[in-house]
Structures are given as structure tokens and as C-alpha cells.
Amino acid sequence: MKVTILANYEPHAAKGLIQGSDREAAIKTVFESVGGKMAGIMFTRGAYDVVVNGEVPDQAAGMGLALAVRASGSVTDLVVLEELDMKAVLAAANKAARVYKPAG
């Protein structure tokens, strides 16, 4: 399952970045610890400090990875976006649309 993770660094973590903490290596290691693979990392200017793309075996692995990072206290506003299979989503939406009756 492909994921994109967005996050902001807490001040103490930003200080670690300035002091040379290798976040790419750390993020690669945490992805591998849950059976996944980091595809890329970008440090960004704007709403988020960092954007990470990768793959994890399943939703539990992705959420476990995110929970561990969140629990570290080094990031805030951590968002995990999961890639969807739009064909499957549209198939389910079409089934639901056929039977759904709106209020009123």
C-alpha cells in the first residue's frame, strides 16, 4: 500500500535537524521495521515541514509506523494519506448509489 506522510517538526526536533540529524536514514529504517520501504522524502516550505512517500504492507503497518512517530513527540500535524484503488471505490459507490435514499 502506498502512503504519503505529511508532518511538522517540533522545535526540539528542528534543533536536531540543524545539528545534523540524518532524518532520511531514520525514516528509511522506521519504514523497514514494519516491512515497508521509503520511496522519497522532501523537506518543504509551507503547511508541512516534511513529506514522505513510501510503501507499507497494510493499513496496520502504516498506522503503527505513524503511531510510533507521533508518540516520539518530535512531530505534530502528522497526516497519513493512503493510496486508493479508485476502480474498487467507484464500484462500491455505484452499488451504494443504487440503493441510497436521501432524506426529504
As a 3-state breakdown, the chain gives helix, strand, coil percent values, each rounded to 5, of: 45, 30, 30
* pLDDT above 90 (res 28): yes
Of 33 and 104, more confident: 33
Domains of the chain are 2-99 (3.30.70.920)
Whole-number pLDDT of residue 103: 94
Whole-number pLDDT of residue 37: 98
Q: What is the pLDDT of residues 34-85, one digit of tens each?
A: 999 999 999 999 999 999 999 999 999 999 999 999 999 999 999 999 999 9
Whole-number pLDDT of residue 8: 97
Whole-number pLDDT of residue 99: 97
- Cα–Cα distance, 53 to 91 (Å, whole number): 27
DSSP classification of residue 70? H
Whole-number pLDDT of residue 104: 87
